[in-house]
Amino acid sequence: MVVEHEIKVRVRYADTDTMRVVYYANFFIWFESGRIELLRSRGVVYRDIEAMGIFIPVVEAQATYLSPARFDDELLVRTRLKAMGTTSVTFENEVYRLPEMELLCRGSTVHVVVGKDGKSMPIPEALRARLSA
């Protein structure tokens, strides 16, 4: 089963740079929004994970930009769980311009599960079960 989720976002004027296109780093903000909502759709609230002393920081991020997004574009952010290791999770993202579904950007982020001490730890079974069900 593919674990995937989609959200829509509208490009704000503040998201653009002096060339009036979306500043490249904002795509990573949308990746994060997609990731948080994918987790929520699986019954995992990130705030609750942190309250348990578990954190999932980004340790690697990459993006390939294919076409610019501009102010007031409506975008679809598709996020999928690509892989789950012992201590890490990899997510893939695609960002499309609506309504034509033009692919603007694709990328991925790798996360390592850590405790309060900042040391990696195995993904808790409850989290693993929710993400793989």
pLDDT attached to residue 97: 98
Specify the number of domains making up the chain.
1
pLDDT attached to residue 2: 83
The rounded distance, in Å, linking the Cα atoms of 77 and 95 is 5
pLDDT attached to residue 44: 94
pLDDT attached to residue 104: 98
The rounded distance, in Å, linking the Cα atoms of 48 and 62 is 27
pLDDT attached to residue 133: 73
pLDDT attached to residue 47: 94
Neighbours of 118 (CB within 10 A): 9
Mean pLDDT by 10 residues, the chain (133 residues): 92 95 98 97 94 96 98 98 97 98 98 97 94 84
Identify the domain containing residue 12 by its residue range.
Answer: 4-132
pLDDT attached to residue 1: 62
What DSSP designation does 44 have? -
Question: pTM for this structure?
Answer: 0.94
The CATH code of the domain that includes 44 is: 3.10.129.10
Element at 96 (helix H, strand E): strand 88-97
